[in-house]
């Protein structure tokens, strides 16, 4: 177990914790105003009240597709995927109407182009490798985890700077492949152990998971990164309007 770090009577005004594991963190007697938490959060207790269930319910209200993503029914999963990719198609059209906006960033987040390139990687890794058992190299324009030895491995070429049209073409091809598979997949196939190849290619921790779990990662990534992308496009456009 790592040694616990204690901060007592310290001014952490404006502090940013990015890609940190704060499991078990305790904030006692703190002043917290205008704070933002964005990440994988569960069992969060605020002043004695567990608030995660409220947050999850509100997110489901705002984004009904989340319930479909959690379903075990292939029909619901097909519906979820089509809704997600329709949303991405609309956002891609929005991006095309503002040439150059796809490469702009805000708050140290990925640009829209980088986000879409990450989804290229998600499809290759979590769908093609984990759900189909493919051993083919990844699409070169994809962007994966920023950790070695996976950062630029198995065909990834981070020196590439593809246009938004090139990225959209690749994503359309991947979407078609996913939907053809979803149209035929059965509950038994979803429940089966994922045929992850036995090699040192991302994601190494997927072994032992079911096909359904790996598909869930694909759908969740598609949803969450769309949410992030739209959020940041809104911020960029708001900045430009000032």
- Can you give the pLDDT at residue 27? 86
Residue 147 pLDDT class (50, 70, 90 cuts): confident
**Is residue 149 scored above 80 in pLDDT?**
no
Give 204 or 170, the one with higher predicted confidence: 170
Residue 145 pLDDT class (50, 70, 90 cuts): confident
* DSSP states of 174-217: HHHHHHHHHTT--HHHHHSBP---SSS-S-GGGTT-BHHHHHHH
Cα gap 57→54, rounded to integer Å: 5
- Can you give the pLDDT at residue 197? 95
31: number of Cβ within 10 Å = 9
Q: Which residues contact 1 (CB under 8 A, 6 or more apart)?
A: none
Contact 178, 81 (CB under 8 A): yes
Q: Which tokens in the block code for residue 18?
A: 């990015």
User: Where are the chain's structural domains?
Assistant: 72-241
pLDDT digit string, tens, across residues 91-138: 999 999 999 999 999 999 999 999 999 999 999 999 999 999 999 999
Distance, C-alpha 79 to centroid of its chain? 19
Q: What is the pTM of this model?
A: 0.90
Cα gap 111→169, rounded to integer Å: 18
pLDDT, mean of residues 178-201: 97
- Buried residues in 137-169 as b, exposed as e (16+ CB within 10 A): ebbebbbbeeeeebeeebebeeeeebebeebbe
- Can you give the pLDDT at residue 2? 61
For residue 94, the SS3 value is: helix
Contact 185, 93 (CB under 8 A): no
- Can you give the pLDDT at residue 1? 56
* Fold of the 72-241 domain: 1.20.120
Under the phi-then-psi rule, with left for phi > 0, alpha for psi from -120 to 50, and beta for the rest, what region is 43? left
pLDDT digit string, tens, across residues 70-87: 999 999 999 999 999 999
pLDDT, mean of residues 169-194: 98
Contact 143, 167 (CB under 8 A): no
Least trusted range by pLDDT, from 36-40, 51-55, 88-92, 165-169: 36-40
Strand 45-46 with 49-50, pairing: antiparallel
Cα gap 13→56, rounded to integer Å: 28
């Amino acid at each position: 177990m790592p040694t616990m770090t204690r901060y007592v009577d310290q001014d952490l005004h404006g502090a940013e914790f990015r890609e940190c594991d704060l499991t078990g963190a305790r904030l006692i007697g703190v002043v917290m105003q205008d704070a933002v938490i964005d990440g994988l959060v569960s069992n969060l207790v605020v002043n004695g009240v567990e608030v995660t269930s409220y947050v999850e319910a509100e997110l489901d209200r705002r984004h009904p597709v989340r319930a479909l993503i959690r379903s075990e029914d292939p029909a619901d999963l097909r519906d979820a995927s089509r809704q997600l990719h329709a949303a991405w198609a609309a956002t891609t059209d929005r991006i095309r109407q503002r040439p150059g906006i796809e490469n702009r960033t805000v708050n140290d987040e990925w640009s829209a182009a980088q986000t879409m390139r990450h989804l290229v990687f998600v499809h290759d890794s979590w769908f093609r490798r984990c759900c189909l058992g493919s051993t083919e190299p990844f699409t070169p324009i994809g962007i994966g985890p920023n950790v070695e030895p996976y950062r630029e491995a198995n065909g990834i070429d981070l020196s590439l700077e593809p246009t938004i049209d090139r990225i959209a073409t690749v994503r359309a091809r991947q979407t078609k492949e996913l939907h053809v598979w979803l149209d035929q997949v059965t509950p038994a196939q979803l429940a089966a152990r994922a045929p992850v190849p036995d090699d040192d290619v991302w994601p190494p921790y997927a072994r032992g998971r079911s096909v359904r779990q790996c598909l869930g990662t694909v759908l969740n990534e598609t949803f969450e990164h769309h949410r992030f992308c739209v959020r940041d496009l809104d911020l960029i456009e708001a900045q430009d309007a000032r």
